[in-house]
Each structure stands twice: as structure tokens, then as C-alpha cells.
Amino acid sequence: METLSVKTHRRDELVDITGQVQAVVKKSNIKTGICIVYCPHTTGAITINENADPSVKSDIIMELDKRIPWNDGYSHGEGNSAAHVKSSLVGASETILIKGGSLVLGTWQGIMFAEFDGPRTRKVHVHVQRAE
């Protein structure tokens, strides 16, 4: 397992980590297997989506903000309940296949760290496992 460091710059942000994850896969020398990307934070998440057009990232954030507003009468005392809800909805991990030593992603897909309570420096764990 390797741990990546991801620096975010806004409260809500999607950060492309595809290159960093692919570097971990390459370093592992595993040609066929799986790669698990995991976020150990309760106000962050991991997702796979279009990575070619940056407006997709802003559209995702915009729609999440509409459905889960920052101030909505939450009980949680820290004031970041919206971030916790978004994290649960998006999810803490993704599993990606490895073939030929590379991540198996669609043409436009990228792996993103989703920040919902930034800016911060976050950790992302990457585990690469050989197929049996």
C-alpha cells in the first residue's frame, strides 16, 4: 500500500489523481490485477468520472451543493454536516482493474479525490494486488 498526499484549494473540489495512482501501479510491476483507491477522511471521497472537460467537475459540485446545502439545519456541532453527507453519497473508495500494467479506464475517465470540507491536505491510500 502506498499513501498519496492531495492538496485541495477550495471547500468543494474534485482533484484529478489518475496520474499519481497510475504511478503507484507502474511502480508495483503488477501487470494484471486490481487497484483499490481509498479515502480515509469522513469529509472526502473518491470517484471516477469524465476527466476531459473541466466543466464536468464543476457541474458535479454544483449539483451536490443544490441537493445538500451547506446550511440546512443540521444537528452536527462542527458545522460541516453537508460535507459528511456528500462523502457518504459519493463513497470512500473505487476499485479499478489493471491490465498490461495500466489502469483500465474508459477514454474520458479519470480518478478524482472529492474534497467537501477544504481546503486541506488529504491522504489517499492506494493498494495494488496481483490477480490470482
Residues (pLDDT < 50) of the chain are none
**Given this model, what pLDDT does residue 93 score?**
98
* Cα gap 117→23, rounded to integer Å: 27
Q: How many domains does the chain have?
A: 1
Whether residue 99 contacts residue 32, with contact meaning beta carbons closer than 8 Å, is answered with: yes
Rounded to 5 degrees, what are φ and ψ at 32? -135, 125
Domain that holds residue 18: 2-130
> Any idea what the CATH number is for the domain that residue 94 is in?
2.60.120.460
**pTM: predicted TM-score of the whole model, two decimal places:** 0.96
pLDDT tens column, 25-42: 999 999 999 999 999 999
